[in-house]
Structure formats: structure tokens, C-alpha cells
Structure 1
């Protein structure tokens, strides 16, 4: 079995003098990223490898999540995740080393939401509908694959086992707009 933790970056500042790639997380984005890290730790879901886009907001999200784990998690920055298409994200996923059982990927919409929809062929109907309705900042899709090798990833080949938003973890009934 393989598990993909697909995490959209936290809420970021709308503007940066350095351009879109340099937009930092706002306070809520930092808090939500930490909440997601705590959720993963408390759920005993630890990545073997974490990969993030090279955008500042994605790297900051990754840092806040990894701070919640007591042990070291191998992580790297993948420049091509930034604004990547579904086809490109699938290609990156298929190149994941087989020694990685659980992969955490931190990136952006629309690519991450579209990838989650593309991959999720099954799961609880309510969670699938919620995920398809909106994939807000710092949302997490936990996707499980009954495969031996990451190269076997295919459309509809994953089961959505969890979809969690920061609003859920804050106890809110609905999500704030991005």
C-alpha cells in the first residue's frame, strides 16, 4: 500500500514585493499549517518523505507541519510543483522511490485540487463531495493506493480515506474564503 498526503499551502498574503513565489503565510496560515501537523501527529500519520513547492508559502507550510513531528522527516523542495498541471504532478508522483510508503506533498491550487479529484476513485461519499466542492488553503486529502510501486498510480486508483480542512479542526461549520 502507498499513501499520499496532499496538502495545500496555508493562507498567504495576497501580495509580495518579490512576486507570487515570495508571498508569505499570514498568521492564520501559520496556525492552520501547525494544526494540520498536529492532526497528522495525533492520527499517527507520519510521512516517510515530504516534498514541497519552492514557493515561500509552501515551504513555510511544510516547516510548520514538520515541526509537529518529534523525529526527522526527510524533505525536499521540488521547483516544478509550483503551478504544475495534473499531468506533471502525476509524473512526479510516479517517480517517487518505492521505499517511500507515505508521501506528503505541499503545493497549490488548482493543480492539487484537480490531482485529488483525478486520483480519488472511491471513498466516503460525504468526504468526496466535500473535497470536490472546495479544496481550501491548508486542506489535507489522505489518499490510499493498493499498489506496490508509485509508478502504478492511475486515474481513480486511490481511496480518499480522509479530507480535513483547518475549519474542521477549529470546529467551524464552514470554511472561510481563501
Structure 2
């Protein structure tokens, strides 16, 4: 009999972006966003979750958030910049996650709203304490992160298959 592996997914929304006269995909981080991305990295480092793989949207604000966040981690995980995460629906993100190799137990996804909020809510069949209530009360603000766990392989990830264990925002 094999033991089911517990996997963790960290959903990280990009930090606060600036609004210069550029295409949406090319928007950079605002000063507050740069500070919050560093806070998000410190928070992630403090949780003990050590992602083996990061899937990051190709949008400039997501890539810059990840670079700053990763600078606070004890080791930088392998990173894939994934164009399918930009303007994705929750179902499209789940399809990307279903492709992750089962050798990965801790995964970080850097993306956008409203997708990440909807995804966290959709995946969470259960939650710890008041995490789901907090998620609903605050939405999924910039630089926020949710940690979900699931048992089984990435191909088995589907709505309701995970547990929302923590939800954090940089201005809690």
C-alpha cells in the first residue's frame, strides 16, 4: 500500500502595480508593490514552505513580484514563466497545474485577480479556522498569498480537492 503525498500550492497575487501609459501586460510595480513583494517573500520564507517550482505569469508586474519575493527565500526554486497564467480563468489555471510533474510537492503560482481569488475558493473543499471567511472578507489583495494542501497527484487537482490552510495579506 502506498502513502499518499501531501502537496502544497501557494497562490501569490502580484504586488501593487503602477499605471503608466503602457499595455496592461507591461505594467511595472509601484513603490508600495516593491515593498509588499519583499514582505510576501519574508512571509513565505517564515512559513517553512519551500517551493520546488514556481509558475509565474509573464506579465511584468508578476515577474517583478516574483523576483523580489524570491530574493527573500533561503533558496530560489526552479521558475517557469507561463504565458497561460496571464488572463487565465480558474479552469485554465487548474489545467496548467494538472501538467505539473508529481515529483513536485510544493508549488508556487504567481498570478492575477480575479482569477486567484476564484481559484482559491474553487479548490478549497475545506478550510482551517477562519481562512475562508477572511478570504471572502478581504478579497485577494495585491501581494496576498493563500496556501492550500491536497493529497494525491497534480492530475487529481480539481474543484473542492484541496484544503485552504492559510491566507495572508501584507497589511494584516
* TM-score relative to the length of structure 1: 0.90
Q: Which residue matches 1:58?
A: 62
Alignment partners' CA distance in 1, 2:102 and 2:25: 30
2:116 matched to which residue of 1? 112
CA RMSD of aligned residues (A): 1.1
Residues 1:100 and 2:100 are matched in the alignment: no
**CA distance in 2: counterparts of 1:58 and 1:43, whole angstroms:** 21
1:59-138 to 2 correspondences below 5 Å: 59-133=63-137, 134-138=139-143
Cα offset, 1:110, TM superposition? 1.0
Matched, 1:141 2:146: yes
Distance in 1 (CA, whole Å) between partners of 2:20 and 2:154 is 36
2-side partners of 1:45 and 1:72: how far apart? 12
Q: CA deviation at 1:125?
A: 4.5
> Equivalents in 2 of 1:92, 1:31: separation in Å?
29
| Correspondent of 2:49 among 24, 30, 45 | 45
- Alignment correspondent of 2:166: 162
User: For this pair of structures, how many residues does the alignment match?
Assistant: 166
Q: Is 1:26 aligned to residue 30 of structure 2? A: yes
Unaligned residue ranges in structure 1 (runs of 5+): 169-178
TM-score (norm 2): 0.93
SS at match of 1:128: helix
After TM superposition, the runs of 4+ consecutive aligned structure 1 residues lying more than 3 A away are none
Distance 1:158 1:64 in 2: 28
Q: Which blocks of at least 5 consecutive residues in structure 2 are unaligned? A: 1-5
Describe the superposition over 1:76-114 as per-residue Cα deviations: whole angstroms up to 9, x where unpaired.
100110010111011001111111101000000111111
1:124 Cα deviation (Å)?
A: 2.5
